[in-house]
Amino acid sequence: MQLDVRSVQYLKQHHLHIYLTDLLRLLGGSAAADASRLASNYLCAVAYGQHVQGREFEFIAAAPWNRLTFLNACKDVLQRVASHIEAFTLQDMHSLMLMMCSDVPLRVTRSAFKAATPLLPSGSAVPHLSGDAAKLAFSKLWSSLEVTFLYENYLLELRHVAFEGKSHMLKAAEDVDACIEAVEATVIMSGWPSIPQSVLQGIMQQFADSSDQGSRRFHFDALVRGLCESADMREHVDVTTAAARIKQQQAPAALAQAVRALETASLHDTPNLIRSSVRPGTTTSILGIVDVCVESEV
């Protein structure tokens, strides 16, 4: 099956190639009678947000919808565990994360812990952290994790474009706004969520107001910490995670048409279903309905 360039871009921008590849792997070797049933079951799992349970970190991290549903599932479980513990070290928190994904890298937990850890007094613009041995409340750690994990791709691109390579200090002020716009365009085009410009600009203005010279020069780690502490960013994340839960609850109605198509399809129909699914705007077949359910609005 040959796809035109527009279809390939559509697949990648909405991360549908992740689910298509995963589904075809699961269908490999299946009898014709089982193929449509397996496909519809997989589709339902994706829409319900149940497709990341027990999966490897590489798959969980591969798409915004996977990250959102993983974090929501983790929060439901870990909040109950955390209610019996006053505070957590980095290793404590990472042990909890390993309960939900056996190969989640330590860097994921450390990024959140670093952003949530109180700073030691310093005259430098570079943050000095109190170390991995610090103990923090679960709510504070979780708020940081939602920011650093959901928006990881945006933050990495921002660091690359708007901050100096070695020092990780913000580039000259006159270049910052253009850098932010470029980062947002790049990230949105690739289908990943972006941080609202108003939130970033508000934090940068706070840094300028607190500086003796009104400088907007600051360290990347300070920006990430500011984002994790920002009430506006917290509101944005809460809206995003709540929207994901609503999508999961509304999935049955959206799935009905696609599941009927899959259940009545023979194995020979599968290429045609897939071909029609990757046309932009299509919502009547296997990947089109996944697009409706998992297209990121964050």
* Local confidence band at 249 (pLDDT 50, 70, 90 cut-offs): confident
* pLDDT tops 50 at residue 281: no
Q: What is the pLDDT of residues 151-167, one digit of tens each?
A: 999 999 999 998 888 88
Could you report the per-residue pLDDT of 6-21, keeping only the tens digit for each?
A: 666 777 777 888 888 8
CA angle 194, 71, 295 (to 5 degrees): 50
Q: Which of 76-85, 147-156, 215-224 has the lowest mean pLDDT?
A: 215-224
